Amino acid sequence: MSDNEIKGSVAPLTDLRVLAVEQFGAGPFGSRQLSDLGATVIKIEDPNVGGDIGRYVPPFQVGEDSLFFETFNAGKRSISIDLRNEAGRAVFEDLAAEVDAVTCNLRGDLPKKLGLTYDALRARNPRIVCCSLSGFGSSGPRAAEPAYDYILQALSGWMSLTGDPDGPPTKSGLSLVDFCGGYALALSLLAAVWRARRDGVGGDCDLSLFDVSVALLTYVGTWSATEGFEPERRGESAHPSIVPFQAFQTSDGWLTVACAKEKFWQRLCEAMGLTSLMDDPRFSGFAERNTNRDDLVRLLSERFSEQGTDDWVDTLTAAGVPVGRVNNVEQALSDPQIVARGGVVGYQHPEFGEVRQPASPLRISGHEAPSIPAPRRGGDTENLLAELCGYDAERIASAASAGAFGESPAEMPT
């Protein structure tokens, strides 16, 4: 079946409904993946603190919205509910009876306290999936501690691996623990919902950002756990064992080369006019090049410094060597490959005008992620309660007067 035949089909997750008790980055990023694939994601925002703290992150922030918030919440819907209020809890349980899953990214001890677990909700919905993403999970000595991406990059060993050998431990330039945790949340939730639909019984997903970050040590973690390997930081973002596989400075910038196969090493030598290195016993294989990396990197660095980045990229690309210039963010967003694949999308926003942001990488034939602004806090309250729970205006007003949506009815959308 061609893409043209698929176009017009329903979104992959159009029949998935999720309540998201979420804030800041990790949880909202995870549920954004579901929303981009067509799921109905309903943000449950606490009216007592002004909703998701992401609404107020500078520098591009106006009122209860920010470009940070837009990044993680475009395409979702919002209802403000006070989960500690009896009337608010009743509204939440009515919603939980009509959805597939509840997600949260609160401290590890809070899901149980707030009744966001399967045991707390199974009576209303036996097939519900309750997915918690916290810093340390719901068990262990640190379960009740808060955690943020930077802390976890430190704890998991990432910072010890990152940066120049003579510099301080360094975090990644992005909040990759949060984002990888968000992907883990989305994947776990989908697997659990699949099982619930098959078996008729839901359950809990207990995800820890610390677990995620340690799991992402991957082969370095395996080397360390199995053989006591002690990783060391290397200059120019070099790979721990494959050479050359790192950044090199040219006469006018930087590029990165990755010779992960023997054929790439041979092509590199030919393209750079360094064919004598191919016969040098110091560089005859992966192990030899790793053992003699200092000598090899010095020789390559001298050669790279003789020409500009564009010249080297053109030369090595033509030779079939994996290579890429070191772009800044603006250059990355305008790269011809990104432009050709529609990698930046936009939509109109009442405060910010046109909001442009990186497109979803989840490409499925016949589906494009919707380009819809993030919701106003509580902006979908009336419609959602009518659509999902059958509330009429009188019942909504009664819940509001009882404090379900905040301290006063003024919290209700107008």
Per-domain boundaries in the chain: 11-216+344-411, 236-326
Tell me what pLDDT residue 198 has: 97
For 249, how many CA atoms within 13 A lie in the half-sphere containing its CB?
Answer: 6
What residue type is assigned to position 374 of the chain?
Answer: A
Share of the chain above pLDDT 70, in %: 96
Q: Residues 6 or more apart from 297 whose CB is under 8 A from it? A: 236, 238, 243, 244, 246
Task: Name the one residue in this structure whose structure tokens are 């390997």.
Answer: 229
256 beta partners: 247, 324
Nearest to 185 by CA among 21, 14, 45, 75: 21
Provide the whole-model pTM: 0.92
Hey, do 11-216+344-411 and 236-326 end up sharing a CATH topology, with the first three levels equal?
Answer: no
Q: What is the pLDDT of residues 37-57, one digit of tens each?
A: 999 999 999 999 999 999 999
Element (H, E) at 134: strand 129-134
Taking phi over 0 as left and psi of -120 to 50 as alpha, with beta for the rest, 145 belongs to: beta
Tell me what pLDDT residue 263 has: 97
Tell me what pLDDT residue 1 has: 40
Share of the chain above pLDDT 90, in %: 94
Residues annotated catalytic, as ranges = 239
Element (H, E) at 102: strand 101-104
User: pLDDT category, 7, cuts 50, 70, 90?
Assistant: low
Radius of gyration of the chain (CA): 26
Tell me what pLDDT residue 407 has: 73
Whether 86 and 399 have beta carbons less than 8 Å apart is answered as no
Fold of 236-326: formyl-coa transferase, domain 3 (3.30.1540)
CA 139 to chain centre: 24
Q: What is the pLDDT of residues 300-352, one digit of tens each?
A: 999 999 999 999 999 999 999 999 999 999 999 999 999 999 999 999 999 99
Tell me what pLDDT residue 25 has: 93
Whether 81 and 49 have beta carbons less than 8 Å apart is answered as no
- Beta strand 323-325 with 254-258 is antiparallel
Q: What is the pLDDT of residues 117-138, one digit of tens each?
A: 999 999 999 999 999 999 999 9
Q: Residues 6 or more apart from 115 whose CB is under 8 A from it? A: 83, 89, 121
The CA-CA-CA angle for residues 387, 388, 392, to 5°, reads: 60
> What are the angstrom distances between the C-alpha of 140 and each of 116, 118, 211?
19, 20, 12
Q: What is the pLDDT of residues 150-169, one digit of tens each?
A: 999 999 999 999 999 999 99
pLDDT at residue 413 is higher than 50: no
pLDDT at residue 410 is higher than 70: no
What is the b/e burial string over 227-251, where b = at least 16 CB atoms within 10 angstroms of the residue's CB?
A: eeeeeebbeeebebbbbbbbbbebe
Q: What is the pLDDT of residues 57-87, one digit of tens each?
A: 999 999 999 999 999 999 999 999 999 999 9
User: pLDDT category, 9, cuts 50, 70, 90?
Assistant: confident
Over the chain, what is the mean pLDDT?
A: 94
CA 410, 112, 26, 188 torsion-angle sign: negative
* Cis amide prior to 244 (ω within 30 degrees): yes
Tell me what pLDDT residue 8 has: 57
Q: Residues 6 or more apart from 212 whose CB is under 8 A from it? A: 177, 180, 181, 184
CATH class held by domain 11-216+344-411: alpha beta
